[in-house]
Amino acid sequence: QSFNRHLHYTLVKDRNVATTRDYYFALANTVRDQMVGRWIRTQQYYYEKDPKRVYYLSLEFYMGRALQNTMLNLGIQSSCDEAMYQLGLDIEELEELEEDAGLGNGGLGRLAACFLDSMATLGLAAYGYGIRYEYGIFNQKIRQGWQVEEADDWLRYGNAWDKARPEYMVPVHYYGSVEHGADGDWSKPCKWVNSQVVFAMPYDTPTPGYGNNTVNTLRLYTAKSPNSFNLGVFNTGDYIQAVCDRNLAENISRVLYPNDNFFEGKELRLKQEYFVVCATLQDIIRRFKSPNHPTPSTPKVAIQLNDTHPSLAIPELMRLLIDIEEMEWDRAWKIVVNTCAYTNHTVLPEALERWPVHLLEMLPRHLEIIYIINQKHIENISKHFPGDMDRLRRMSLVEEDGEKRVNMAHLCIVGSHAVNGVAAIHSKIIQDSVFKDFVELSEKMGEVNKFQNKTNGITPRRWLLLCNPGLADLIAEKIGEDWPKNLDQLRELTPLIDNPAFIRSINQVKQENKMKLAGFIEKEWGIKVNPASMFDVQVKRIHEYKRQLMNAIHMVVMYNRIKADPNKDFVPRTVMIGGKAAPGYHTAKMIIKLINSIASMVNNDPIVGDKLKIVYLENYRVSLAEKVIPAADLSEQISTAGTEASGTGNMKFMLNGALTIGTLDGANVEMAEEMGGENIFIFGMKVHEVEELDRRLKSWGGVMSVPELKTALDQISSGYFSPLEPDQFQHFVDNLINHDRFKLLADFQSYVECQDRVSEAFKDTEQWTKMCLANIAASGKFSSDRTISEYAREIWGVEPQPDLR
C-alpha cells in the first residue's frame, strides 16, 4: 500500500506510465518511511538523556548503495521482496538502479561507512560529519586499455536518502585579518574581520543500526553562496556576472579530490578541509549549549579525526573557545586535547599533509593559533630534552627547511589525547619510527596510553549478510541468527571443518557465486570465463606500493609456461584486477595499460584457451565489490611489508571464504594469527628485511638470477605485449629495474613459488574448502563492531548499548 501510494504521487498528470526508476524511488521512499519514526525517536532519546556524543569527522564517507542495506538493518527485506514479487517487479533490478554514494577514494572512506554502521548497531550517540560532494569519485572507463575519467553525477536523478536542513545552515569565513586587544597578545580574545563568507547547508542521511531501533545521523554539508555575494558590482551593472560568480563559493563542495595516499597541496582542498571543520564545530557547540541541558559536570563531546584531513578542528575549537567564549588559553587547550583524538592511516611520506604557510594565510587567526601552539610545544620539548636542537627541529609543527610548512600530523598529535594506528604492525611502526620522538615526549610527560592501536574492521552486515546471502543462510542453519551482531560466534563453525556434507555445501555456495559473477562479466565486458577456474582477485586502488605490477608480471610468467608446454597440467585461473588510479598518477595509469595489454594478448590466444583469462574490472566501486568478493577463491594482499597501514578488503575476502596470498603487512599479520599460518599463503620479506635491504642498496640487482622474471621483463620492455608501440613500456621497465622503491623484484621469486603452492592446493577441492571454512571461522575479530567498542571504551569514554530501545 505504501509503495502504491508513493508511486501514485510520483506519476504526474502528463505521464501515466511508470519507468523502472519510478519504481525504484517508490520502493526507496517506502523503506525510508519505515525508518523515519525510529530516526526521530532516536534523536529525541539523545536530546532527553543527553549522553556523551561522538563526532566522527571525515572528508570521505564511501557509502555505496543504501536501499538493500536499509531493508536488511530494519529487518524488512523479506517483506519488501514479497511485496515487489506480488506487484510483478524484480527487486534486484530496482536495486541496480541506485547510484553508489561514492564520496570516498577507497579504504579510509569505506572504513568511515563501516564505522557508522557499527556505531548505530552498538547504540552509540554518534554523528558522522563530512562534505556532500556534488561529484564523487570519478567513473572509470577503460578505452584502448587506458583509464579515462568521467564525472560521477550521482545526484542527477535526486537522492532518496538525505534531507536538507536549511534551518541549521551556518557561515564559514575565509581570508580577512585579525584585530588584537590593546596588549597585542595573540593568546587572548581577538576579532577576525573583513573576511569572505560562505554558507554551509547541512543534509542529513539516516544510518540505521542492525536489529535495534537506533537510527543515527550522517550530516554532510554543501556550500552555498550568500545572497549578497559580489553584488557590489551592481554599480558596474554586471548583474549577470555577479550571479555567475556565486559558483566560486559553491565550488567548495563541488568535487571529491581523487587522491589516495597522496598529498596534493591545493587551495581548494584546504578550503574543503576548513569548511567541514568550521561547520561541524558550530553544530557541536550549538547542540552542547541546548537549553535542555544544564552546565554538565562530565565531558559531553568526543571528536575523532579520521586522518589529518580534519586537523584544523584543533585550532578552530581553540578559536571558538578563546575568541567567542572568551576562555583563557590554558583552560581552552585542556578542553581541546581532552576532546580530540587522531587516527593515523599511513606512513608513506608523500601522503602526509604539510600545508604551505602561504596557503594557510587564508585562515589568519588559525595560523596565529598554530604558532602559539607550536611555541608552547617547543618550550615543552626544551623542558624535557634541554639542548636537543635536532629534536626541536624534528618535532616542530612548523617546518622551516625550504618552503615554510605546517606538519598537520604533528598538530594532531600535540592537540589530541589519543593517537592510534589501524593495525598492530602499523601502530608499532608509528611508535618505533615515524612518531618515535612524540612517544618519548609523551612518556616524559607521564601521559598514559596516548599512543594506541585500533585494528580496523568491516561491517558483517554489508560484507556477508547482504552480499553473500547463500553463505549467510548456511551459517545461520548451523549457529543461529545472532552472529551478525556478535561475529566471534563464527568460531562455532570450527568443528564443522571435519563435516564433509557441510564442506560440500560451502563449496556449492562458492560455485554458485562464481557462476553468477561469470555471467555478469560476460554480460558487462563480453569475456567468457571458466567458472571452474581459480578466481584470483586483486581489487583496490592502483598504487605502486600495492604492487599490482607484481601480479601483472606473474600473469606473463603463467602465459609463458602455458605457451612453452600447452599439454602440461596447468591449474586454470581467471585473474581479475580492479581499481582506480588517481588521474595525475602517471605510473599507476601505465600499470592499468600494461595489465590490459597483457589481457588482450592472453585472452585472444587459442593455445591458452580457458586455462588463463585476465579481466580488468572496470570502475571498481562498493556495489561491484559486493558482486566480486563472494565469488573470489584467492585474495591478493601483496603490498611491500611496512607500507599498507591495515587494509580492509583483506578482511572482506577472508569473511567470504577466499584464501589470501599476502605479505606480513597491515592486518594480514593479525589475520594469520587468528586463522593459523597453515590457512594463509604468506611470502616475501618482513618489515625488518625490507629495512635491511634499504640500508644495503638502493636497487636490487638479482633480476638476472630469476630467469622467468628476466624473460617477462624483456618481453614487456621490447613490445611483445604492445606490438603497435614497441617501446611503450621500455622506460617503465627501466625505471622498475633501476628504482624499485617497493621491492617488487626482490620479492618476486618468493611470490611465484607461493603462487605455485596455491595452484597445488587448489587441486584438492576438499582440503581447499576446509581452509576456506577455517578463514570464515577465524574472522570474528575483524568486525567493525569490535573496533568501535575499543574506540568507545578506550578513547571516547562511552559504553556501547547495543540493546533494543
Annotated catalytic, 224? no
As a whole number of angstroms, the distance between CA 158 and CA 98 comes to 10
Mean pLDDT of 169-191: 96
Q: Which H or E run contains 365?
A: helix 364-384
Confidence of residue 700 (pLDDT cuts 50, 70, 90): low
> What does 458-521 look like in DSSP terms, one character per residue?
B-HIIIIIIT-HHHHHHHHHHH-S-GGG-GGGGGGGGGGGG-HHHHHHHHHHHHHHHHHHHHHH
Claim: this prediction has a pTM higher than 0.95: yes
Confidence of residue 595 (pLDDT cuts 50, 70, 90): very high
Confidence of residue 705 (pLDDT cuts 50, 70, 90): confident
Residue scoring higher pLDDT (293 or 740): 740
Nearest to 257 by CA among 307, 298, 294, 212: 307
Question: 67-74 vs 77-86: helix axis angle to the nearest 10?
Answer: 120
Interval 613-641: pLDDT, tens: 999 999 999 999 999 999 999 999 999 99
Cβ atoms within 10 Å, residue 627 = 16
Cβ atoms within 10 Å, residue 724 = 7
pLDDT at 217 over 60: yes
Query: In angstroms, how far is CA 600 from the centroid of its own chain?
Result: 31
Interval 417-446: pLDDT, tens: 999 999 999 999 999 999 999 999 999 999
As a whole number of angstroms, the distance between CA 376 and CA 382 comes to 10
Residue 70: phi, psi to the nearest 5?
-70, -45
Annotated catalytic, 514? no
User: 3-class DSSP state for residue 128?
Assistant: strand
Q: Which of 345, 366, 405, 593 is catalytic?
A: 345
Interval 303-345: pLDDT, tens: 999 999 999 999 999 999 999 999 999 999 999 999 999 999 9
Q: Which H or E run contains 698?
A: none
Annotated catalytic, 648? yes
Helices (H), 11-138: 20-49, 67-74, 77-86, 91-95, 107-121
Annotated catalytic, 287? no
**What kind of fold does domain 50-65+100-456+788-795 have according to CATH?**
Rossmann fold (3.40.50)
% of the chain at pLDDT higher than 90: 92
As a whole number of angstroms, the distance between CA 21 and CA 162 comes to 18
Annotated catalytic, 805? no
As a whole number of angstroms, the distance between CA 386 and CA 341 comes to 28
205 within 8 A of 222, measured Cβ to Cβ: no
Give the chain's mean pLDDT.
95
661 within 8 A of 635, measured Cβ to Cβ: yes
Q: Which of 224, 540, 547, 770 is catalytic?
A: 540
Q: Which of 6, 485, 652, 770 is catalytic?
A: 652
Residue carrying the nine cell digits 593515523 = 344
Cell numbers for 42: 532516536
pLDDT at 711 over 70: yes
Cell numbers for 665: 603487512
Interval 481-499: pLDDT, tens: 999 999 999 999 999 999 9
Cell numbers for 768: 581447499
Long-range contacts of 502-507 (CB under 8 A, 24+ apart): 502/474, 502/478, 502/773, 503/766, 503/769, 503/770, 503/773, 504/769, 505/474, 506/471, 506/474, 506/657, 506/769, 506/772, 506/773, 506/776, 507/765, 507/769
Cβ atoms within 10 Å, residue 150 = 11
Interval 540-581: pLDDT, tens: 999 999 999 999 999 999 999 999 999 999 999 999 999 999
Q: Which of 405, 426, 546, 593 is catalytic?
A: 546
Nearest to 591 by CA among 777, 430, 455, 721: 721
777 within 8 A of 494, measured Cβ to Cβ: yes
Q: Where along the chain do its domains lie?
A: 50-65+100-456+788-795, 527-762
As a whole number of angstroms, the distance between CA 654 and CA 630 comes to 10
Cell numbers for 166: 536549511
Q: Which of 214, 648, 769, 787 is catalytic?
A: 648
Question: 67-74 vs 20-49: helix axis angle to the nearest 10?
Answer: 50
**pLDDT score of 699:** 60
Question: What is the DSSP pairing of strand 146-150 with strand 139-143?
Answer: antiparallel
Instruction: Identify the CATH class of 527-762.
Output: alpha beta
Length of the chain equals 805
Mean pLDDT of 187-212: 97
Residue 173: phi, psi to the nearest 5?
-110, 145
Annotated catalytic, 652? yes
Interval 12-22: pLDDT, tens: 655 678 999 99
Q: Which of 462, 514, 541, 781 is catalytic?
A: 541
